[in-house]
Chains A and B, each alone.
Chain A
Amino acid sequence: MVKVNGVEMDVSGKTVSELLEAEGYQPAVVAVELNEVILPKAEYGSTVLKDGDIAEVVSFVGGG
């Protein structure tokens, strides 16, 4: 199980790109921290989630 934004999800073995797509996130407006370290966008496709990982997906909305 992987904790995604505080919720346990059965996504071990999926890449970060696959997680984002499955959850409906738009890659252009997100930042992903994996185990409290920022994950560069270029690594979304090659980073495979594993049991015990903690992922934080921040999806930005407009306004400022």
Chain B
Amino acid sequence: MSGAAELRLPTEAEMYQALCERHGAQMQRKFSEGAVAVCGLGGLGSNIAVSLARAGVGRLLLLDFDRVDLSNLNRQQYFPDQLGMPKAEALSDTLHRIAPYCRIESQTVRLSEENIPVLLRDYPVICEAFDRADQKAMLVNTVLTALPEAVLIAGSGMAGLGSPNKIRTRKTSEHFYLCGDGESDSAKGLGLISARVAVCAAHQATVALQVLAGRIDI
């Protein structure tokens, strides 16, 4: 006996069966039939996407204009050997390792009022995961106006090391959920710290899964 065991990835059917055993067949079918767009692939977006891929969401769209930078590694789901890569490409690679049968579309693009209605039109669930406040507002205004059938889940207020219990989810209207503490602002010198950003990302991912499952419980 010598040498490493031959690597064999589980088949799609094996992975699906394992997910069904964890989540229940009915819920898993809904996750697998689901499609979610993640806009911005920083601390929020990369963590949201990892959670959704692990849960077995069938189709993900990853959008970001930026490349992986050393300053991202404190909280974002990238590796030092991915420095300089476009985030959309780097995260797509990682998600393929986590969930090889997830259908992932990724694009390096700066979202705008003009391209949002086109790029996001096939995605009934959309996660806002930008960094800048004015860009968050732009995306929310554009999606809610131009894509009125979509469900939008945004994040606002997760900087610093304040109480994680202040991060909560609110449903402000039929198509809009807002996660975060609403006030801790990275633009006011508060750092973005892995665990607290991940709390907000987990709120957003949980709501996305609830929407797919048709079981809203805020």
Contact = CB atoms under 8 A, between A and B. Distances in A.
Interface in A32-64: 33, 36-38, 40-41, 56, 58-64
Most buried by B among A31, A38, A41, A61: A61
Interface size class of B (residues with CB under 8 A): 35 or more
Contacts of A22: none
A58 B185 contact: no
Nearest to A40: B145
Given A38-B145, A56-B172, A64 B40 contact: yes
A29 B135 CA distance: 8
B172 A64 contact: no
B187 A61 contact: yes
A31 B178 CA distance: 11
Given A37-B173, A40-B145, A56-B173, A62 B137 contact: no
B176 A33 contact: yes
A38 B43 contact: no
Contacts of A31: 137, 140-141, 144
Query: Secondary structure of the A side of the interface?
Result: mixed
A14 B185 CA distance: 29
Contacts of A7: none
Interface string B114-153: 0000000000000001111110110011001100000000
Contacts of B176: 33, 38
B157 A63 contact: yes
Contacts of A64: 40, 42-45, 129-131, 136, 155, 158, 186, 192, 197
A61 B137 contact: no
A2 B44 CA distance: 34
B159 A41 contact: no
A62 B145 contact: no
Contacts of B183: 61
A31 B140 CA distance: 7
B190 interface: yes
A61 B173 contact: no
Q: Which of B43, B129, B173 has the most CB of A within 10 A?
A: B173
20 contacts: A28-B133, A29-B134, A31-B140, A33-B176, A36-B173, A36-B174, A37-B173, A38-B141, A38-B144, A38-B173, A40-B145, A62-B131, A62-B133, A62-B186, A62-B187, A63-B131, A63-B156, A63-B158, A63-B187, A64-B130
Interface of B: 40, 42-45, 129-134, 136-137, 140-141, 144-145, 154-159, 172-174, 176, 178, 180, 182-187, 190, 192, 197
